[in-house]
Amino acid sequence: MFWKLTLAIALGFILGAVALGFLPLLWLGFGQAFHIDDYLPRVVVFTLKQAFLSTLLSVAIALPVALALARRQFFGREALLRIFSVPLALPAIVAILGIVGVYGNSGPFGGLFSIYGLKGILLAHVFFNMPLAVRLMLTRLESIPAENFRLAAQLNFSAGQVFRFIEWPQLASALMGIASLIFLLCTASFAVVLILGGGPQATTLEVAIYQSLRLDFDPARASILALAQLVTCGLLVLVAGQFAREIQVVPPTLARTRRWDGKSRFSKILDGLLIALGIVIVVPPILSVILSGIGSIRPDGSLFWASATSLLIGLASASLSIALGWVLAETAARQPRTFLKSVITLACLASLIMPPAVLATGWFVTLSPLADMSRYAIFLVIILNALMALPFVWSPLYPAITDSVQRHDRLCSSLGLSGLARFKLIDLPVLRKPLGLAFLMAVIVSLGDLSAITLFGSDSLVTLPALIFRQMGNYRMNDAAGTALVLAAFCFALITIAQRWSQSHDHT
């Protein structure tokens, strides 16, 4: 009864927020005359094309990099993994400046190709999404029981056999979900396409919706574009769900995983090159931001206030997202393949299926005639950021809860463990690491968000990304670089704290 009530509250909250954002725009659109010209098919085709290519490149690079990192232990590995989390925290506009600083005409890799157009979009998306895929894949690989590798060593498995019989089955169940998540992120890409698209020939649905609402003030066209995005992404999620396989659970021991494969010289060189490839993709743009930001930090009141506001919104939205994600994951893990499970999955991906800009605009249209928006702005920003972070919470949390349910439900039932007692003794120790990763992702997604604060923010409600955006708008590029460096350092510190917390009970 408790889980049914909490499920109803969580689903009602998410679906209500989506309806409140989308239905007003739909009503405005159908209340006016509109027609579909060749603009819509062209935008849809380019949206799917750039999302498919970005996903293919990100996953194709992330898979061998994650396998190499899982096999190797070396000095600086933990720091490298923290660096791989930084692209998620950087506001897109700041990271794009770093990419342009490296691959633009004046950068060290300038002249290799034009940074503007499809190539620039793909490069930026790989920078953002390849590290995300590596982290999610590595979480799966590190959950493989040590007994599997010990048995493989006793049977004298080759590297190919280890991958085929041990690593691939663990990755295969999550690969479609990871690819779908990246595809949806690229489909909803806004700042990357807006800045690097290079013109109307490289426009996605998200950018076209923004242009229709903010530049042309054409809600009719915006509603049709939003419907196209809803149908496209919704079909993708449903199709991907048909190919996702349930996790085959093998109870692990508490010993640290030791690997006996990959000892040959060729394997070591290959893994080193793969890890170096990941470093080359991620590190140079971050270094560009750091070098341009050193000496440009202005520790004034606006910086401190924006930092405090970002932390407050980030923690609040992450807590709300974890609460929603936990309830939905607990319910879905105990469901067979039913309609309810599909509804829960769609609810968790709502912010990817329905663009945040559309949700925020719909909320603004609905609520602005009824109340003073400045009084409730911070709550709207927290809710929208929580919805945006929910897919990142769902991705690591749902598989871990599914594992826990399959391993422990029968034992807990026989022992009479339930409620708070089960949570303290069973669930929290087992789920500590995925919970830490999910909370971390939710915080850094909120810290790097610009869309919600742009619409609902004010002079008294400014986050670090909003401050950067204002500084760039006033052509204070050095100040913007300094603030971006503060945001990156802030995120790096949070990543360190979260990882140490999640690892502090590995032996308990």
Residue 228, CA distances (Å) to 18, 44, 52, 197, 234 in order: 16, 8, 17, 20, 10
Nearest to 143 by CA among 434, 483, 359: 434
Report helix, strand or coil for 475. Answer: coil
Question: Topology of 35-293 in CATH?
Answer: MetI-like fold (1.10.3720)
pLDDT at 383: 92
Instruction: Determine what percent of the chain falls in helix, strand and coil, rounding each to the nearest 5.
Output: 80, 0, 20
- CA–CA separation, 499 vs 74, rounded Å? 17
pLDDT under 70: residue ranges of the chain: 1-3, 29-37, 89, 111, 198-200, 213-214, 217, 219, 234, 237-262, 336-337, 352, 355, 357, 371, 373, 419, 495, 498-508
- CA–CA separation, 246 vs 118, rounded Å? 36
Give the phi and the psi of residue 461 in degrees, each rounded to 5: -130, 90
CB 488 within 8 A of CB 89: yes
Q: Which two tokens stand for residue 96?
A: 């794009």
Q: Which amino acid is at 311?
A: L
- Which residues partner with 461 through β-bridges? 458
What does the DSSP 8-state code read for residue 370? T
Q: Count the alpha carbons within 13 Å of 422 in the hemisphere toward its beta carbon.
A: 14
Q: Which two tokens stand for residue 446?
A: 């909120």
- CA–CA separation, 328 vs 335, rounded Å? 11
CB 167 within 8 A of CB 223: no
Q: Which two tokens stand for residue 473?
A: 């708008």
Query: What is the number of helices (H) and of strands (E) in the chain?
Result: 22, 0
Angle between helices 339-348 and 2-30 (to 10 degrees): 60
CB 490 within 8 A of CB 97: no
CB 367 within 8 A of CB 247: no
Dump strand ranges (E) for 208-323. none
- Per the document, the length of the chain is 508
Question: Topology of 1-33+295-508 in CATH?
Answer: MetI-like fold (1.10.3720)
Nearest to 262 by CA among 59, 81, 73: 73
Exposed/middle/buried for residue 8 (C-beta within 10 Å: 0-12, 13-18, 19+)? exposed
What does the domain layout of the chain look like in residue ranges? 1-33+295-508, 35-293
pTM: 0.73
pLDDT at 49: 92
Q: What is the DSSP string of 382-404?
A: HHHHHHHHHHHHHHHHHHHHHHH
Q: Which two tokens stand for residue 154?
A: 């006793």
CB 171 within 8 A of CB 141: yes
- Which residues partner with 458 through β-bridges? 461
Nearest to 376 by CA among 474, 430, 455: 455
Report helix, strand or coil for 156. Answer: coil
- CA–CA separation, 393 vs 400, rounded Å? 11
- CA–CA separation, 161 vs 170, rounded Å? 14
Exposed/middle/buried for residue 341 (C-beta within 10 Å: 0-12, 13-18, 19+)? middle
- CA–CA separation, 45 vs 66, rounded Å? 31
Please say whether the dihedral angle defined by the alpha carbons of residues 247, 253, 259 and 261, taken in this order, is positive or negative. Answer: negative
Nearest to 46 by CA among 117, 125, 99: 117
Residue 155: Cβ within 10 Å count? 10
pLDDT at 247: 34
What does the DSSP 8-state code read for residue 471? H
User: Which residue intervals of 416-476 are DSSP H helices?
Assistant: 419-422, 428-447, 451-456, 464-473
CB 67 within 8 A of CB 167: yes
Give the phi and the psi of residue 458 in degrees, each rounded to 5: -150, -175
pLDDT at 507: 44
Q: Does 35-293 match 1-33+295-508 at the fold level?
A: yes
